[in-house]
Amino acid sequence: MGWMAFGFLIISGSRELFIQGSGTGTGEFFGLFSGYWGIGLLFFSMGAILLLVFALQSAIRPVAVTEERLRKIADWIAGVRFVRWALLVFFVLFPTLLFLGPWGWRFDLPNFRLFVLIAAAGMAAILLSRDYREFWLYWALFAYVATALLLFGQRLALVTDNPFPLSWSEGNRLWDYSLYFGRDRYAIAGEFSFPSYLTPGRHGLWGLPFLVFPRVTIMGMRTWDAILGTFPFLIFGLVLFSKGKHKVPRIWRLILAFWTFLFLTQGLIQAPLILAASLLVWGFDSQRKWRTLAIIAAASFYAGISRWTWMAAPGIWAAVGSVLLAKDDQALWDRLKRAILFATAGILGAAGSLIFMDLAFPRNGPIYATSLSQPLLWDRLWSNPTNPSGIVPALLQAVGPMILFVGWAMLRKHIKWDALHLVAVGGTLVAFLAIGLVASVKIGGGSNLHNLDMFLVTLVLLVGIIALHEKGIPRLPAYAWGMIAIIGFIPLWTLTRTFVNSNLPANQFAREALATIRVEVMEASKLGEVLFMDQRQLLTFGQISDVPLVMDYELKHVMNQAMSNNLPYFERFYQDLKNHRFSLIVSDPLHPVIQGPEIAFAEENNTWVEHVTLPMLEYYEPLLKIDEIELWLLVPAEEMED
């Protein structure tokens, strides 16, 4: 079945490529393809046909055909080991080089991308394999490694010195990160106070380069962002699957570690939660009670100062882990006692994080007040313009096969959980699932699975416990291995289908736009305060200097207050607008258009239009619009001066 699936992938990927090339020519190749396309497709067709024949032969006689090929290749490379390793590196890197290279934008073809990745991984696996079973394991490993390299390359492609944001609010997020360790970069207008949304666990982590490298540039910060967006997930997988009694072979542990990386990347989970989970896994040892208690408290404290909704997660994970890892003959109260002790350590760490945040960064009202006052959009659970997949279908695609397999394994007694195990695991999953679904339908969310982060990390932790603390890899029927293959294939399928090439603005245009903006800002600063509602990174990295930073009315904070319908907050904002407090406002584009429900993020847009766009355009008017970088400069409206 695996070989048949690969054959289907060859055909579907080839079809996409031929359709993409059709119409590029003026008669060179059958009137359909240009010269470059024709030559490329000719060589591609020969390789694809050979692979298709091999796949069909292997589907008919899988072990015999593959074993014969592996022996011939092993004999050929016996004396040329350097060539083998050079080819292996080439095949693993090939998808990244192709899809992120100069022609990568032409291959926005999901099935073709997946075919290239799987085929390249298979070629790499052949170079190391000595038998049929080993071949499949290496194939899976190299497919994961190639995908991980592709994702990291995608992140690195965004490392540029372009001074303008590459995504919504990216510039202001870079400004956020500087406030803990790079505040001396600014001349503050008025009294400084940390924004209420800032947390040391998240923003301090991203801001570390400002502490270590005081002269860090925007390229350096984007490099750090690429590292934090990838490496913590792999570290978590390596830490998790290096634990236990090592009954599982090393190659399986590597496969599971890279699977963890890809599985969690589907959810766009933030690094601090992954680091808290990694700390917990690294330090967890039910036989070393006091050390484990300290680690649990530390992980809970760090999670709590990163995001308040995470503070309970490490304690709960530790309690569930202690229940699952307890000896079968242990008395019920002894099992519960240790779980309660671990949960208590988590509670103390979480409480410590709340106390620390209140003392170090006092704010008006509870930390959760804004979130709980925002409306819930339940239609985002299902297919909608903001998320065509819908939260529930996307989640079922990501975790459904895994949950079905665990259920099957429990029925077949491959996983032996008693009532206490089921209550602990089921209760935790249901609680984290409910929290994640509610957070996902809150206005501003629902476009991806990142709010289901605790639920997804819990599943990975359970996989780690099952894989490393049961009885190793059991003997399973063929259909069960088919289920495992589907579980392993889903992250590859999801990530290759959603992979996009970066479309960065031209540097020449950015330099010209920056020069114009700099002149206008410097002239306006002579007349009064300049508000950088957006584009604050221009101050952070010195593209604009000698302009005092007005802390008020930052874009993300204003959006958060708008979604919470915080009218007292906006009364002061409207008064400042009416009084023309600012001689110039640097803003994102302000389009006074109420959108219908068929438009993505329509509710967020309409909230912004009502609370921000219309009042701003009542008292200010555009001086300059640069829509290519989504930037407007606003000055007091002339009619208000008459």
Q: What pLDDT was estimated at residue 216?
A: 95
Last residue of a domain, one of 124, 156, 188: 156
3-class state of residue 493 by DSSP: helix
330 belongs to a structural domain? yes
Q: Are residues 94 and 135 in the same domain?
A: yes
Range scoring the smallest mean pLDDT among 9-23, 70-84, 124-138, 295-309? 70-84
Distance CA 496, CA 95 (A): 11
Q: Which residues pair with 636 in a beta bridge?
A: 620
Encoded tokens for 521: 């800002």
Rounded CA Rg of the chain: 28
How many separate domains does the chain show?
A: 3
On whether both 97 and 132 belong to a single domain, the answer is yes
Q: What are the pLDDT digits (tens) for 129-172?
A: 777 788 889 999 999 999 999 999 999 988 999 999 988 889 99
User: Could you tell me if 10 and 131 lie in one domain?
Assistant: yes
Q: How many CB atoms lie within 10 A of CB 594?
A: 12
Q: Write down which residue in 95, 127, 156 finishes a domain.
A: 156
DSSP secondary structure string, 537-590?
HHHHTTSS-S--EE-S--HHHHHHHHHTT-HHHHHHHHHHHHTT-EEEEEES--
Range of the domain at 619: 170-196+505-641
- Tell me how far apart the alpha carbons of residues 261 and 156 are, in angstroms, rounded to a whole number: 17
Higher-pLDDT residue of 460 and 502 is 460
This prediction's pTM: 0.91
Does residue 451 belong to any structural domain of this protein? Answer: yes
Looking at residue 6, what is its pLDDT?
A: 87
CA 375 to chain centre: 25
What is the C-alpha to C-alpha distance for residues 149 and 123, in angstroms, rounded to an integer?
17
pLDDT in tens, 400-426: 999 998 888 888 888 888 889 999 999
Q: In the structure, what pLDDT confidence band is assigned to residue 459 with cuts at 50, 70 and 90?
A: very high
Same domain, 303 and 186: no
Task: Estimate the share of the chain in helix, then strand, then coil, as percent rounded to the nearest 5.
Answer: 65, 5, 30
Distances (CA, A) of 290 to 297, 336, 566: 11, 17, 46
Q: Which of 162, 179, 200 is nearest to 506 (CA)?
A: 162
The dihedrals phi and psi of 270, each to the nearest 5 degrees, come to -85, 150
Residues 548, 259: Cα–Cα separation, whole Å: 48
Are residues 458 and 312 part of one domain?
yes
408 with 547, same domain: the answer is no
In the block, residue with structure tokens 């619009």? 625
In a domain, residue 531? The reply is: yes
588 in a structural domain: yes
pLDDT for 629 beyond 80: yes
Spacing of C-alpha 32 from chain mean position: 40
pLDDT tens-digit map of 216-259:
999 999 999 999 999 999 999 999 988 766 667 888 899 999 99
Last residue of a domain, one of 105, 132, 156: 156
- Phi (first) and psi of residue 435, to 5 degrees: -60, -45
Amino acid, res. 19: I
Same domain? 41 vs 187 = no
* Range of weakest confidence among 36-40, 432-436, 572-576, 618-622: 36-40
Q: Which of 550, 554, 551, 564 is nearest to 611 (CA)?
A: 564
Least confident of 102-111, 305-314, 485-494: 102-111
Confidence of residue 375 (pLDDT cuts 50, 70, 90): confident
433 and 538 co-located in one domain: no
Is 244 contained in some domain? Answer: no
Please give the pLDDT value at position 642: 43
Give the contacts of 136 (CB within 8 A, at least 6 positions apart).
Answer: 2, 125
Confidence bin at 367 (pLDDT 50/70/90): low
DSSP 27: S
Q: What is each CA distance from 144 to 13, 128, 262, 271, 437, in whole angstroms?
A: 19, 16, 8, 20, 29
Q: Is residue 210 part of a domain?
A: no
